[in-house]
C-alpha cells in the first residue's frame, strides 16, 4: 500500500499518516472497486459487445468498403446465407444469443466470408466470457474486412480479458488508424499506456479523446488522472472539474477531485468533494475512508473517528481503515485506543512498518519504553533502506533516546 506521509511534530517526534485506499473506475459510472492509494483510476475497456448494440439496424443505408456484400441490406450474395444472417441479426438485437448464434453459424455455413457474422459471434462469445472464441472470430472478421474498426476494437477488449495488453494496445492503435475520429480507440489505448507509465502519450491520447468527444465525463476523468500523475496539477483540476460539470450526478469525479485536492493539502475542499461523492453513492466505503483521512488532516478528530468507525462497521477486515482510525485516535490523544487499532490492523496485514512506527511512538508517550524499543525494531526491519533511509535514521535516533535518555550517558 502506497502511503502519503506528512511530518507531525509532537514531543520532538513524528508519526506517519496514510491515505485511504482509492478506487479503480469501472465502466458504467456507478460501480467501484478498491485499488491502491494514489493509483490512477483505470477504466474498464469500452466494448461494443457491452449492451448488445443494434449494429445492423440501418444496414441498408450504410456505405463503404462492404457495399459489394449487400443485397437488400444484407452482407452476402448467397440467398440462403442472407436469410439465415438476417434472422440471426434480428435475434441478436432482441438479446436471444443462443438462437442468434445458431442462425449466424448457419449463415456462415453457406458463406464463410460474412465479416459481420464473425463479428457478431465474437460479441456473443465475449458476452459469455469466452475470450478465446471471441478473439478468433474478431480476427477472422478483421481479416475479411481490413477497415472493420469495431472488430479490431472488440478484439482489443478480448485480448485484454486474456491479459495480453500489448496485443490489445496494437488493436486499439489499429482502430485509431482506420477510424481516427472514434474517441474510444484513443481512450482505451490511453488506459493501457497509463498502466505502462507512459504518461506523455497517454495524456496525448486522452486529450484527443476529449477533443473528439468533449461531452464524455469518463474521458475527462482519465485525462485529469493522467495529468495528476504527471504533476500537472492545474490542468488536472480543470479536467476533473469539467467532468463534474458534464455529469454532476456521478460520484466518481467528485471523489477523484477530492483526492487531487488532498495532494495539494486543500483538505477543506477535499472534504466537500468527498461528501458530495458520499451523498451520491452512500454505500461506497472508499469514499468515506478518504473523508475520514481528510477530517483527520484538518484536526476534526471526532468526525474522523466517527467516519472511520462507520467504514469498519461495513468492512471490519480493512487494515488500512483500522490504520487510519488509529492515526485519528493518536492525534486526538487516545493513545491506548490508537495502540489497539494499530494492533488490529497489523493482525490483518503485518507488513506495515508505518503502523509499527506509530504504535511505538504511542508506547513511548505512555512510558512503555521497553515495548516501544521492540516495536521500533520491527518497524526498522520492514522499512526498505533504499527508499526509507531517512525514516530508518529517525528510528535509530529514537532508539538511542529511549535506551540512553540522558546525554551524559551516551557514548
pLDDT in tens, the chain (411 residues): 333 333 322 223 344 444 433 222 222 222 222 222 222 222 333 333 322 222 322 222 233 333 333 333 457 889 999 999 999 999 999 999 999 999 999 999 999 999 999 999 999 999 999 999 999 999 999 999 999 999 999 999 999 999 999 999 999 999 999 999 999 999 999 999 999 999 999 999 999 999 999 999 999 999 999 999 999 999 999 999 999 999 999 999 999 999 999 989 999 999 999 999 999 999 999 999 999 999 999 999 999 999 999 999 999 999 999 999 999 999 999 999 999 999 999 999 999 999 999 999 999 999 999 999 999 999 999 999 998 999 999 999 999 988 876 555 444
Q: First vs last Cα of the chain: how many Å apart?
A: 38
Q: Residue 33: which H helix or E strand, with range?
A: strand 32-35
Q: What is the largest CA-CA distance in the chain?
A: 102
Query: CB–CB of 247/29 below 8 Å?
Result: yes
Give the list of residues 6+ apart from residue 201 with CB closer than 8 angstroms, or none. Answer: 190, 193
**In the 8-state DSSP scheme, what is residue 45?**
P
Rg (CA), the chain: 28
Distance CA 89, CA 370 (A): 75
What are φ and ψ of residue 91, in 5° steps? -70, -35
Query: CB–CB of 355/346 below 8 Å?
Result: yes
- Hey, what domains does the chain have and what are their CATH numbers? 52-179 (1.25.40.10)
pTM for the whole thing? 0.73
Place of cell 461528501: 275
Q: Is 124 exposed, middle or buried (0-12, 13-18, 19+ CB in 10 A)?
A: buried
Distance CA 390, CA 221 (A): 35
Amino acid at each position: 500500500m502506497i502511503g502519503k506521509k506528512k511530518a507531525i511534530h509532537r514531543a520532538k517526534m513524528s508519526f506517519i499518516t496514510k491515505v485511504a485506499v482509492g478506487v479503480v473506475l469501472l465502466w458504467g459510472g456507478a460501480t467501484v472497486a478498491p485499488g491502491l492509494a494514489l493509483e490512477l483510476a483505470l477504466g474498464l475497456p469500452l466494448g461494443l459487445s457491452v449492451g448488445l448494440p443494434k449494429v445492423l439496424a440501418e444496414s441498408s443505408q450504410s456505405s463503404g468498403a462492404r457495399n459489394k456484400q449487400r443485397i437488400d441490406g444484407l452482407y452476402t450474395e448467397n440467398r440462403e446465407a442472407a436469410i439465415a444472417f438476417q434472422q440471426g441479426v434480428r435475434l441478436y438485437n432482441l438479446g436471444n444469443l443462443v438462437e442468434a448464434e445458431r442462425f449466424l453459424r448457419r449463415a456462415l455455413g453457406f458463406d464463410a466470408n460474412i465479416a459481420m457474422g464473425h463479428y457478431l459471434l465474437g460479441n456473443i462469445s465475449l458476452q459469455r466470457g469466452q475470450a478465446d472464441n471471441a478473439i478468433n472470430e474478431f480476427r477472422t472478421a478483421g481479416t475479411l474486412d481490413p477497415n472493420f474498426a469495431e472488430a479490431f476494437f472488440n478484439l482489443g477488449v478480448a485480448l485484454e480479458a486474456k491479459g495480453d495488453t500489448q496485443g490489445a494496445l496494437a488493436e486499439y492503435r489499429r482502430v485509431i488508424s482506420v477510424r481516427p475520429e472514434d474517441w474510444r480507440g484513443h481512450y482505451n489505448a490511453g488506459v493501457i499506456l497509463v498502466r505502462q507509465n507512459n504518461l506523455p502519450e497517454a495524456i496525448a491520447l486522452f486529450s484527443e479523446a476529449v477533443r473528439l468527444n468533449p461531452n464524455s465525463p469518463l474521458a475527462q476523468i482519465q485525462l485529469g488522472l493522467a495529468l495528476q500523475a504527471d504533476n500537472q496539477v492545474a490542468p488536472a483540476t480543470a479536467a476533473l472539474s469539467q467532468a463534474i460539470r458534464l455529469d454532476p450526478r456521478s460520484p466518481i469525479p467528485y471523489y477523484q477531485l477530492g483526492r487531487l485536492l488532498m495532494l495539494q493539502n486543500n483538505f477543506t475542499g477535499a472534504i466537500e468533494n468527498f461528501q458530495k461523492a458520499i451523498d451520491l453513492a452512500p454505500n461506497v466505503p472508499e469514499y468515506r475512508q478518504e473523508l475520514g483521512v481528510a477530517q483527520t488532516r484538518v484536526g476534526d478528530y471526532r468526525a474522523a473517528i466517527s467516519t472511520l468507525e462507520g467504514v469498519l462497521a461495513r468492512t471490519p477486515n480493512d487494515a488500512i481503515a483500522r490504520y487510519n482510525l488509529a492515526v485519528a485516535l493518536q492525534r486526538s490523544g487516545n493513545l491506548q485506543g490508537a495502540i489497539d487499532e494499530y494492533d488490529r490492523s497489523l493482525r490483518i496485514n503485518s507488513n506495515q512498518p508505518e503502523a509499527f512506527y506509530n504504535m511505538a511512538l504511542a508506547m513511548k508517550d505512555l512510558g512503555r519504553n521497553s515495548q516501544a524499543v521492540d516495536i521500533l525494531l520491527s518497524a526498522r526491519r520492514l522499512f526498505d533502506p533504499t527508499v526509507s533511509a531517512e525514516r530508518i535514521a529517525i528510528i535509530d535516533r529514537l532508539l538511542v533516546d529511549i535506551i540512553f535518555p540522558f546525554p551524559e550517558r551516551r557514548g
